Chains A and B, each alone.
Chain A
Amino acid sequence: MSLYSVAAPGGGGGNLFLIPNATFFVELLIFLIVVGVIWRYVVPPVKRATAQRQEMVRRQIQESQQATKRLAEAEARYSAALAEARVEAAKIRESARADAQEIKDELREQAEHEVARIRERGAEQLATQREQVVRQLRGELGKLAVTLAGRIVGESVADDARRAGTVDRFLDELQGMAAPPSAPESVPQDNVAAQDRAVSQDSAAPEAGAPKNGTVKGAASVPHARRRR
């Protein structure tokens, strides 16, 4: 207080503190400086920062909303894909089952085919064997025929009736032997024909060989027998 010259209170107790003095202008200057600095240098950067932050927040909210939307979409896509995959799996399972059935059927069919084939081959083999046997028999037949012929010739060449009876009996035997009950119709006939032919040839052979034995009558009797059949 002692630093300043204290103003004496207005004379007569009238204090003039409500009347401004020259301090007014100094105060105005200081105030204007404050206003000017805040106006120019303080408010704009702060407002800019605020606006930027608001913009940032707005953008973040937007992005968050977009992300939420994308998430929902992805979830929807995921469940759709899942459902589709389930359907696909069911389809594949179904087709696999169908395939399995098909393969089973096919295998069964094949097996049946195989069985049929094997059975057929067996039958064929049987037929072949039978044919072989027949052929073999036929080969033996020639010998038998020669033997028979020799016997007949040797026994009695003179007796025509007996000779014819023997030959007929032999041929009947042959026929009965060549026709098995299960064989087809055509085969025995052919066989019979072939045997017939073979017999005639075989019987012709002794004819050729007859002169060696010195029997002429026998050679003449054979065509006769053929004629009778």
Chain B
Amino acid sequence: MIAHVLAEGGGGVSVGEHPQWHILGLTINADTVISTSIAAVIVLAFGLYLAAKATSKVPSTLQIAFEAVTEQVERQVETNVGIRTAPFVVPLAISLFFFILIANWISILPHATEEYVRPPTADVNLTFAMSVFVMIMVWATGIRVQGKHYFGHFVQPYKAMLPLNIIEELVKPVTLSLRLFGNILAGTVMVSVLALMPAAVSWLPTSAWKLFDLFIGMLQALIFALLTIIYFGMAAGGQEGEGAH
């Protein structure tokens, strides 16, 4: 049915279509930029409010939540990378988690046919931006920590594995970004499909789906942040016994 609807093109469901700005010959997806900015403003507002209110006495619920995430991230970083090796991984992972979480949850309000604000993570531009930045940092960290030895892992365990290892390394940012993108895009497509039903009945499955979408949004944010830490860990000294430390 979905395929049939999609095949109709001009029907109710459209995938990957964005209102666009054309500036200086560059094509920019306007809705993505706007929703990303909204998400960024929300995250930064929360973050700065939290920083201003941060107290060593009785913490607010927000601070407790933030501290819980921070603690989890620190533990993960400590076990995978070592906080001393890459101290910036902690704020990076925290930022990724909260930013992706808000970006995913921004689509909480459903319109009749689509969201008021489309989740920016349903656009590959944001997910690629994040994953490319992360992977550049990962590679830089690997080289900084291991030096020349970092490239040694490309010929492990055999030299014949070199092409596969290179592909694996290059695929990392792609999978990282497309996983997130696909999940969130699927959520929006689902809303569009459900919107094809008469409004009298579509509210129930849409509501149910939105609740599940919230869970997916949190899960994907978690996965993105966790994989980031793991990639850092692999780059900083994944091969045990090589004396990276």
Q: Which residues of A contact B (CB under 8 A)?
A: 1, 3-7, 9, 13, 15-28, 30-35, 37-39, 41-50, 52-53, 56
Contacts and interface: CB of A to CB of B under 8 A. Distances in A.
B51 interface: yes
Interface stretch (B35-43, B198-206, B235-243): B35-43
A6 B27 CA distance: 12
What's the dominant secondary structure at chain A's contact region? helix
Interface of B: 9, 14-22, 26-33, 36-37, 40, 43-44, 47-48, 50-52, 54-57, 59, 63, 66-67, 70-71, 88, 90-92, 94-96, 98-99, 120, 123-126, 128-130, 132-133, 178
Question: Which residue, A33, A35, A38, has most C-beta atoms of chain B within 10 A?
Answer: A38
B112 to A, nearest CB: 13
Nearest to A44: B51
B27 to A, nearest CB: 5
B169 to A, nearest CB: 19
A50 B20 contact: no
B64 to A, nearest CB: 10
A4 B19 contact: yes
A9 B19 contact: no
A55 to B, nearest CB: 8
Question: Which residue, B22, B51, B123, B178, has most C-beta atoms of chain A within 10 A?
Answer: B51
A100 to B, nearest CB: 67
Contacts of A21: 26-29, 125
Nearest to B14: A9
16 contacts: A1-B19, A3-B19, A5-B22, A13-B9, A21-B29, A23-B28, A23-B29, A24-B129, A27-B33, A27-B120, A34-B99, A38-B47, A38-B95, A45-B54, A49-B54, A49-B59
